[in-house]
Amino acid sequence: MRKRVDSGSRFEKQIGFSRACRSGNVISVAGTAPVKDGETVCAGDLYGQTRYCLELSIRAIEEAGGTADDIVRTRIMLTDISRWEEAAKAHGERFSAIRPACTFVEVSRFIDEAWLVETEVDCVLTQE
């Protein structure tokens, strides 16, 4: 089974990607930026942007048939790694009970300079 979850982002068709893709019991969520209706949310607020990105990812996972409990790996990409604790706070609030494998990395920039973070999330659904 293969299922795509689209967000409606103008970049999906241009780049050729989906917000999330499920193949069998694996769901992968693409790099998720802090964007709503084409506008950056929580400008300048790394905690708020991270929280928003993670919630967008979880919604995509749910649309693909998974839950937050199925998340096995997250990646947090920051433009300023010295602010990692702000992003870690949002991640910890959401995932302290789940505790997926997690990586924080610094990148030089994103498509939009107002984005301070992008997240990626991977799931493995429990087979019953």
pLDDT in tens, 68-103: 999 999 999 999 999 999 999 999 999 999 999 999
The kind and range of the H/E element at 30 are strand 26-32
How many CB atoms lie under 10 A from the CB of residue 23? 11
116-127 average pLDDT score: 94
How many CB atoms lie under 10 A from the CB of residue 22? 23
Question: Can you give the pLDDT at residue 59?
Answer: 96
What is the set of domains in the chain, with CATH numbers? 2-124 (3.30.1330.40)
pTM of the model: 0.92
Q: Sorting pLDDT into bands at 50, 70 and 90, what band is 12?
A: confident
CA dist 40 to 37, 59, 78, 85, Å? 8, 18, 15, 21
| Mean pLDDT, rounded, of the chain | 93
96-122 average pLDDT score: 97
